[in-house]
């Protein structure tokens, strides 16, 4: 056993830290730290800076222009970025579509789409979920019917994160309704400018315009936009779910959130003392910190196993559940920490819109973030789905 990073890993970490310290624009980090909405240009700026450093596609094979990081390097990069409050990398093109194209796409598709992801020509979004297909994704109903050299797509996708910025969408669509649900699904690439596509924002409980519904009415998609074979879509979706779940524990986000919580608790005063010295609040923070220390090591164990070539297994589900619970516990404490300031809620969710929050700079986002991050135990396979996977793996029933 050796809990330390290797010399190479430490050198890489120092590189990442130096880059973040020197290059990450302060105004971007401040926006992230205070959970302000980033616009499309913010993300594109950060992506371009990473691409200039050859770190945008850190996990891609070198053959496709990536840095071919192993699991430890990837972990280091993600954790350092999170703790430095860097903008997140939008994963839809880079970490979700790209691995599918590399594994299942044609040479033409790879040559055309992958460079456009790296240079920012395309912003992809994900068309998986539907109103009636949430946890039960295989029940999706959006159809693609082959007509000559095109598919005609009809249906509705939902929960499309940042779809308002996207010019492309990859979709799971039903191409055969006569077989069992999983067997009739295909993976299709669609241009958002195609006639018949209608995108409508979904306002979330905290007022964030983060996700969208997308409606498809007789949308004509060239047949060459099919990835892999027809009806092979479920295989690709599963491939992504089991092989590309990145940063599932969210240790870096949790650490950044805990650091911010501690700053707030040191500033807020209760009973004439800093809130951080209130024994009950200190106990709440200590418990989550101790849990996080343990989870960080659980995460490193999985990362080390992955770096040594082990296939991720039920550990992903465990990290998903515990990771989201810890992050939500931190968000909950942050909300508690700001006390009555949480009552001021200048959000687009309620009429009155973006008036400035009356409290200290840290106060405005506490309640909205607490509310928004209830999603993390729901999406990407809800915690209930994960518990089922864990139990079934353990019990073999």
Partner 1 sequence: MDFSLTEERRMLADSLRGTLKRGADWAQLSDLGVQGALFTEAEGGFGGSGFDIAVVFEELGRAGSTEPVLEAGLAGGLLADCGEAALVEAVIDGSLRPVFAHDEPGNRYDTDLRCTATDGRLSGAKTVVIGAEGAGLLVVSARSSGGLSLFAVDPGAEGVSLRSVPSLSGGYASEITFDKAPARLIGPEGGAQPLIDQRIAAATLALCADALGAMETVREMTLDYLRTRKQFGRPIGSFQALQHRMADVVIEIEQARSAVINLAGHLHAAPAVRDRHVSATKNVVGRTASLVAEESIQLHGGIAMTEDYALAPFARRLIAVDHRFGDEDWHMERFIALGASA
- Interface with its own copies, residue 280, by CB under 8 A: yes
**Of 148, 234, 145, nearest to 186 (Cα)?**
234
Subset of residues 249 to 278 that bind partner 1, contact rule: CB under 8 A: 268-272, 275-278
> CA triplet 180, 185, 190: central angle to 5 degrees?
165
Instruction: Quote the tokens at residue 48.
Output: 């371009």
Q: How far apart are CA 372 and CA 355, in angstroms?
A: 19
Instruction: Quote the tokens at residue 37.
Output: 């909405």
Are the C-beta atoms of 357 and 344 separated by less than 8 Å? yes
Are the C-beta atoms of 363 and 35 separated by less than 8 Å? no
- Interface with its own copies, residue 279, by CB under 8 A: yes
Q: How far apart are CA 277 and CA 16, in angstroms?
A: 35
**Of 56, 58, 54, nearest to 71 (Cα)?**
58
Number of residues that bind its own copies (CB under 8 A): 3
Nearer to its own copies, 47 or 284 (CB): 284
- Interface with partner 1, residue 396, by CB under 8 A: yes
Chain position carrying tokens 């519904």? 213
Q: How far apart are CA 365 and CA 38, in angstroms?
A: 14
Instruction: Return the one option of its own copies, partner 1, none that residue 322 interacts with (CB less than 5 to 8 A, by type).
Output: partner 1
Q: How far apart are CA 340 and CA 335, in angstroms?
A: 9
Are the C-beta atoms of 151 and 226 separated by less than 8 Å? yes
Q: How far apart are CA 317 and CA 245, in angstroms?
A: 10
- Interface residue with partner 1 among 132, 147, 218, 224 (CB under 8 A) is 132
Crossing angle of the two packed helices 251-267 and 71-83, in degrees rounded to 10: 20
Which residue stretch of 70-78, 114-122, 177-185, 276-284 sits at the interface with its own copies (rule: CB under 8 A)? 276-284
User: Within 10 A of 163 (CB to CB), how many other CB atoms are there?
Assistant: 26
- Interface with partner 1, residue 152, by CB under 8 A: no
- Map residues 283-312 to x or -, x wherever contact with its own copies holds by CB under 8 A: x-----------------------------
- Interface with partner 1, residue 387, by CB under 8 A: yes
- Interface with partner 1, residue 297, by CB under 8 A: yes
Give me the least distance between CB of 278 and its own copies, in Å please: 9
Instruction: Return the one option of its own copies, partner 1, none that residue 294 interacts with (CB less than 5 to 8 A, by type).
Output: partner 1
- Interface residue with partner 1 among 25, 65, 196, 388 (CB under 8 A) is 388
- Stretch (H or E) spanning 256: helix 251-267
Instruction: Return the one option of partner 1, its own copies, none that residue 168 interacts with (CB less than 5 to 8 A, by type).
Output: none
Instruction: Return the one option of partner 1, its own copies, none that residue 329 interacts with (CB less than 5 to 8 A, by type).
Output: none
> CA triplet 26, 31, 33: central angle to 5 degrees?
90
Instruction: Return the one option of its own copies, partner 1, none that residue 132 interacts with (CB less than 5 to 8 A, by type).
Output: partner 1
Subset of residues 274 to 293 that bind partner 1, contact rule: CB under 8 A: 275-284, 286-287, 289-291, 293
Instruction: Return the one option of partner 1, its own copies, none that residue 374 interacts with (CB less than 5 to 8 A, by type).
Output: partner 1
Give me the least distance between CB of 394 and partner 1, in Å please: 6
Instruction: Quote the tokens at residue 8.
Output: 């190479």
Nearer to its own copies, 180 or 280 (CB): 280
Are the C-beta atoms of 100 and 128 separated by less than 8 Å? no
- Interface residue with partner 1 among 91, 222, 339, 380 (CB under 8 A) is 339
Whether 244 is a known active-site residue: answer: yes
Q: Name the catalytic one among 44, 230, 244, 289.
A: 244
Instruction: Return the one option of its own copies, partner 1, none that residue 200 interacts with (CB less than 5 to 8 A, by type).
Output: none
What residues act catalytically?
Answer: 244
Task: List residues near its own copies by CB under 8 A.
Answer: 279-280, 283
């Amino acid at each position: 056993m050796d809990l330390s990073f290797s010399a190479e890993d430490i050198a890489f970490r120092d590189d990442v830290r130096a880059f973040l310290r020197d290059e990450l624009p302060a105004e971007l980090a401040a926006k992230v730290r205070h959970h302000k909405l980033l616009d499309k240009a913010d993300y594109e700026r950060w992506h371009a800076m990473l691409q200039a450093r050859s770190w945008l596609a850190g996990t891609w094979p070198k053959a496709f222009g990536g840095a071919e990081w192993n699991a430890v390097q990837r972990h280091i990069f993600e954790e350092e970025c999170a703790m430095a409050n860097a903008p997140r990398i939008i994963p839809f093109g880079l970490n979700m579509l790209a691995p599918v194209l590399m594994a299942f796409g044609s040479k033409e598709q790879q040559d055309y789409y992958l460079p456009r992801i790296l240079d920012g020509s395309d912003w992809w979004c994900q068309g998986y979920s539907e109103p009636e297909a949430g946890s039960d994704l295989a029940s999706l109903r959006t159809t693609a019917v082959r007509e000559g050299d095109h598919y005609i797509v009809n249906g509705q996708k939902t929960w499309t994160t940042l779809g308002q910025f996207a010019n492309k969408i990859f979709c799971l669509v039903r191409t055969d309704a006569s077989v069992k649900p999983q067997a009739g699904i295909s993976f299709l690439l669609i241009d958002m400018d195609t006639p018949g596509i209608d995108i409508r924002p979904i306002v979330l409980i905290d007022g964030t315009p983060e996700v969208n519904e997308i409606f498809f009415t007789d949308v004509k998609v060239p047949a060459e936009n099919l990835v892999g074979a027809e009806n092979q879509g479920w295989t690709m979706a599963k491939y992504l779910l089991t092989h590309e779940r990145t940063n599932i524990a969210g240790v870096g986000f949790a650490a950044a959130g805990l650091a911010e919580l501690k700053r707030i608790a040191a500033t807020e005063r209760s009973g004439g003392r800093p809130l951080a010295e209130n024994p009950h609040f200190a106990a709440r923070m200590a418990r989550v910190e101790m849990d996080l220390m343990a989870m960080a090591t659980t995460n490193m164990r999985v990362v080390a196993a992955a770096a040594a070539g082990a296939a991720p297994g039920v550990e992903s589900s465990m990290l998903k559940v515990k990771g989201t619970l810890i992050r939500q516990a931190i968000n909950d404490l942050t909300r508690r920490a700001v006390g009555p300031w949480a009552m001021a809620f200048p959000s687009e969710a309620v009429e009155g819109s973006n008036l400035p929050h009356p409290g200290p700079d840290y106060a405005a986002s506490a309640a909205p973030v607490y509310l928004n991050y209830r999603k993390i135990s729901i999406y990407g396979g809800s915690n209930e789905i994960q518990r089922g996977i864990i139990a079934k793996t353990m019990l073999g029933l």
